[in-house]
Amino acid sequence: MINPDLKGHSFNEPFPILLIENVFSPDQLDVIWKELDYYCANDILLAPEDTGGAYKKGKYVKQNSGLFLTDAWKGASYSAINKHISPILQSFPHADWVQDNKYFEEFQFNKVSVLVSNYTDGDYYDAHRDLSLATCCLWLYKEPKQFAGGEFSFTQYDLEIECKNNSMVIFPGLYKHQVSPVSGVKNPMDGRFCISYFLSWIGNEK
């Protein structure tokens, strides 16, 4: 079920971007936070070398902890995070507010990889590209906000997108983006969570 308070916005300049506010309802957030708490409390989140990511000059360009949901659940179908986002991902190419978007108005995908990332004190992700047709970055944090930094920006355009709780940005993965260092938080559950959905097309050409 899609949150009735969800609001979507479409932009074509400086490149195609979708922004979604109020992604999840309060009830959905409740079960999602329980899932995130389970990962943190049981020390399930992994180091950068175990979740992959952008690589430059012999080292990963990120410092955070994370987990691909397919690794956690042997398929993401049992995850509340995946369950509640799936209707949104399936509907957004057809939503009224997407129809004037040059890239997303007829967007198609048949594969989704879901990565949960947690940023605590000193964590960051330097400028990089993704190998996806589209990347969806969903931001969650406990309110009131307990950390500084963690800003999300597209480095080629000097464009910063405000990292609002329970909001998501969707963009073609080829555009370079980064997360500035986070500071002021020690407890993982008080940190910055980003749930990344990498949308791809596998198989014959569309």
Per-residue pLDDT of the chain (206 residues; tens, 9 = 90+): 999 999 999 999 999 999 999 999 999 999 999 999 999 999 999 999 888 877 777 788 999 999 998 766 555 567 899 889 989 999 988 999 999 999 999 999 998 899 999 999 999 999 999 999 999 999 999 999 999 999 999 999 999 999 999 999 999 999 999 999 999 998 999 999 999 999 999 876 54
Is 2 part of a structural domain of the chain? no
Is 48 part of a structural domain of the chain? yes
Is 206 part of a structural domain of the chain? no
Is 68 part of a structural domain of the chain? no
Across the chain, the runs of DSSP E, i.e. the strands, are: 7-11, 17-21, 55-56, 59-60, 62-63, 65-68, 111-119, 124-128, 134-140, 148-149, 152-154, 159-161, 167-171, 177-179, 182-183, 192-200
Is 96 part of a structural domain of the chain? yes
Residue with tokens 């179908």: 77
Is 205 part of a structural domain of the chain? no
Is 35 part of a structural domain of the chain? yes
Is 158 part of a structural domain of the chain? yes
Contacts of residue 42, Cβ cutoff 8 Å, sequence gap at least 6: none
Range of the domain at 107: 7-58+74-200
**For the chain, how many structural domains are there in total?**
1
Amino acid at 22: N
Residue 206 pLDDT: 47
Residue 69 pLDDT: 87
CATH number at residue 18: 2.60.120.620
First to last CA, the chain: 28
**Vertex 90 angle, CA 64 and 170, to 5°:** 45
Contacts of residue 187, Cβ cutoff 8 Å, sequence gap at least 6: 120, 146
